[in-house]
Amino acid sequence: MTRRDLIHKWTVYALGLLPVWVLDAYILSRYPLWGTSPMLLPLAVAAVAVLEGAYAGTGFGLAVGLLWELAYPGGFGGLVFYLALAGMAMGAVSQYALSQSFAGCLICSAGVLGLLDLLRVARGLLVDLASLSDLLQVAVPEFLWSLAWTPPVWLLFRTIYRRVGGTKLA
């Protein structure tokens, strides 16, 4: 794969991320379902990591983490490393333990979302933000509603993968 092909491939992936980001940041946040907005960006990382493997998953996770930290309010930096690490882990797990399928993506998405919410609940308990039950009342619907968005996100990135993914441009 030439350098030009590589740039072409990742430009298409970035363009694929654009509607996911707009939907996540500006549309779904306006219309929460029972007061809950989904998190779509970790799903995009999961889909790309499952399809492209650990190395590409790390890079894509890093880029999405940067987007999340810089374009959303209240960033503290941790998401860049978390999503890069998650991208690597999901890519490796899909290569060795799972398959490059929707089921694999769903399991990886559940993992990345679950751990993220778990960290938020732990942080909430640590800073005495609220009781465990109050924190879980936010975390559980958020996890489930976000996970429900896995199919469209997976379909979008699988379509991109089928056209430009892997070494297809080589």
Partner 1 sequence: MKDFLRQNGILLLAIALLLSILIGALSFVMGGQADPLSDLMGVLTTPIRRGVSAAADWAEGAYGYVFRYGEMEQELKDLRAQVGELEERVRQGEEAIRENEQLRELLGFQARRRGLTTEPAKVTGRSTSNWESTLTLSKGTSAGVDAGDCVITETGVLVGVVAEAGTNWSTVSTVIDTDTQMGGIVNRTYSAGVLEGDFALMNKGRLKLNYLPEAAQLVSGDEVLTSGRGDMFPSGLMVGRVEGVFTDPSGQTRYAVVQPAVALDSLIEVFVIKDFEIVE
CB 46 within 8 A of CB 98: no
Nearer to partner 1, 69 or 101 (CB): 69
Nearer to partner 1, 106 or 142 (CB): 142
Query: Helical H runs in 72-149?
Result: 78-96, 102-126, 132-147
Q: How far apart are CA 109 and CA 26, in angstroms?
A: 22
Q: Which residues bind partner 1 (CB under 8 A)?
A: 22, 24-27, 29-30, 32, 35-37, 53-55, 58-59, 61-62, 65-67, 69-81, 83-85, 88, 91-92, 95-96, 120, 124, 129-131, 134-135, 137-138, 141-142
Nearer to partner 1, 141 or 152 (CB): 141
What distances in angstroms separate CA 28 from CA 79, 137, 146, one per listed residue?
A: 21, 19, 11
CA-CA-CA-CA dihedral for 147, 151, 153, 154, to nearest 10: 110
CB of 93 to partner 1, least distance (A): 10
Nearer to partner 1, 60 or 154 (CB): 60
CB of 3 to partner 1, least distance (A): 15
CB of 125 to partner 1, least distance (A): 11
Place of tokens 């930096």: 77
Q: How far apart are CA 61 and CA 45, in angstroms?
A: 5
Q: How far apart are CA 49 and CA 154, in angstroms?
A: 11
Nearer to partner 1, 16 or 65 (CB): 65
CB of 160 to partner 1, least distance (A): 20
Task: Read off the tokens for 152.
Answer: 């469209």
Task: Read off the tokens for 142.
Answer: 């958020």
Task: Read off the tokens for 79.
Answer: 């998401």
CB of 34 to partner 1, least distance (A): 10
